Structure 1
Amino acid sequence: MKQVVLITGGTQGIGLGLAKAFMARGAEVAVCGRSDGPLDAFSREFPKALAIKADVTIAEERAAMLDAMYDRFGQMHVLVNNAGRFVERDFLAADAVNGLADEVALNLTAPISLTSEVLQRWPALQSIIFVSAGFALISPARAPTYGAAKAGLHGFAEGLRRQLARHGTHVLELLPGITDTPGTATETRKKMTTSEVAEITLEALAKKKPMALPGSMKLLPTLLRIAPEATRRMVAEM
């Protein structure tokens, strides 16, 4: 039986890298996104996959997306909560919290809500992947609300992993380092490719690890144990 995988925000970046990696292993893949252009491009390149236009922050659109999944596949084995957005905020500025509700909805509330809705329909789900960030462990100075949302997602993944363990559902948290995506186009630091991140993620998934830690993130938990203050200062200013 082929795995059926849903990846939110799967038309570009890490989500697209994961979609390609799952398809290369024979999985049936569905992705969702909010923009017609990337969805159309995905459908042209991967005509056997399912591309769904949906805003995961809107309950009705999440429901319609899961209806489309059921109509096409009848089942789901893996949910990848990937959709998210990095937002810089200066809290000395007057507009510091403009759009805050939308940011928190996309980065935290939506993946929690979608996870609940998927489990109601497919309680025997094999795996849930949350695409988080190293900033879940150390909040960045330039984007403290992003760090707060990712820290919340990290806590949710950790608790959910314990809750679902007895039911056989594996919960994996992906903490990618800097990756070559449209969002990091102006970055000059060395970046991992999305295919490298995807391969490490699927390897961690196969081994039922709690975390996938690509590249520089592999050392982060250890550094936080042995040199917590220096590590926090270094990462927080990235």
Structure 2
Amino acid sequence: MSKAFEGKKVLITGGSKGIGKGIAQAFYSEGARVGILARSEEGLKAAKEEIGDIETYACDVTVDGERQNTFQRFIETFGGIDILVNNAGGSSGGKIADTSMEEFTKSMETNYFQAVHFSKMAYEQMRERGGAVINITSIFGKEAGGKATYNNAKAALISFTKAAGNEWIKDGVRVNSIAPGSILHPTGNWQKRIEENPEAMERFVEQNIPAGRFGNVEEVADAALFLASQEARWLVGTTLTADGGQSRMNI
């Protein structure tokens, strides 16, 4: 798909590290004009130095006003938007009985409500000429396994993906999602766990990932390129699992 996205205007939330940075790099390498947002100015600066000529925006996605202002700045700079990747998110909390309602609310704000808001803003820009929205969810939004706060929010985002996909396709806006499994990158929890207990992580991989290794950000980024491409034009409201066989659902 060399230069398949030449000139396309792409906004990626949570784009300064991990999966988000990998997706930004992939679209940039394919000729897209890329903007990323994240909370950390330092992280944004480092990502820009690594990727190249991209635009960066400091934004706390849990704050309504910051979302609106940042999205408007992107539109003013780029003159529109063709692809939105909702990658920002995070896991918090623990066992349900020990987790406060504030943590449940925080998780929905961090993983769900902000993605819905960015999607709605993007749709208003895309509805005249089409576009693609890609939500980064999780296999734990499809089945049990992670923290309840995170699972709940990602399950809601998968449901939103289907609802918005069905509603917006008539305007040429395709909405799909990627559900990654365990993805290894330098700033992620899996890397920390490997450093803390490499033997336990070897056993985890052997017992849980049929492919025999952790996934990497490039493999999720390739899935994002596919979903945004014309090759995926008949995929609407779909959640694409990218997990090396880790998930246990057969549907």
Shorter-chain TM-score bucket reads: 0.7 to 0.9
SS class of match (2:12): strand
Aligned partner of 1:7 among 12, 36, 45: 12
Q: How does 1:1-238 map to 2 (within 5 A)?
A: 2-93=7-98, 95-123=99-127, 124-140=129-145, 142-181=146-185, 182-183=187-188, 184-185=190-191, 186-187=193-194, 188=201, 189=205, 190-206=213-229, 207-208=231-232, 209=235, 210-217=238-245, 220=247, 223-225=249-251
How much does 1:30 deviate?
A: 0.3
- Do the aligned partners of 1:139 and 1:148 also contact (CA within 8 Å) in 2? no
SS class of match (2:97): coil
How much does 1:176 deviate?
A: 0.8
Cα distance in structure 2, aligned partners of 1:212 and 1:168: 20
Q: Percent identity?
A: 24
- Do the aligned partners of 1:78 and 1:125 also contact (CA within 8 Å) in 2? no
Cα distance in structure 1, aligned partners of 2:102 and 2:64: 22
Name stretches of at least 5 consecutive residues in structure 2 with no aligned partner.
1-5, 195-200, 206-212
How much does 1:47 deviate?
A: 4.2
- Do the aligned partners of 2:134 and 2:227 also contact (CA within 8 Å) in 1? no
Runs of 4+ residues deviating >6 angstroms: none
Q: CA RMSD in A?
A: 2.0
Cα distance in structure 1, aligned partners of 2:107 and 2:227: 28
Deviation readout 1:55-107 (Å, 9 max, x if unpaired): 111111112212221221111100000000022411333x5444332211011
- Do the aligned partners of 2:134 and 2:224 also contact (CA within 8 Å) in 1? no
- Do the aligned partners of 1:30 and 1:49 also contact (CA within 8 Å) in 2? yes
Would the alpha carbon gap of residues 45 and 216 (structure 1) be closer, same or farther in structure 2, given more than 3 Å must change? closer
- Do the aligned partners of 1:90 and 1:96 also contact (CA within 8 Å) in 2? no
Letter in 2 for 1:214: A
Name stretches of at least 5 consecutive residues in structure 1 with no aligned partner.
226-238
Cα distance in structure 1, aligned partners of 2:28 and 2:19: 14
Letter in 2 for 1:191: F
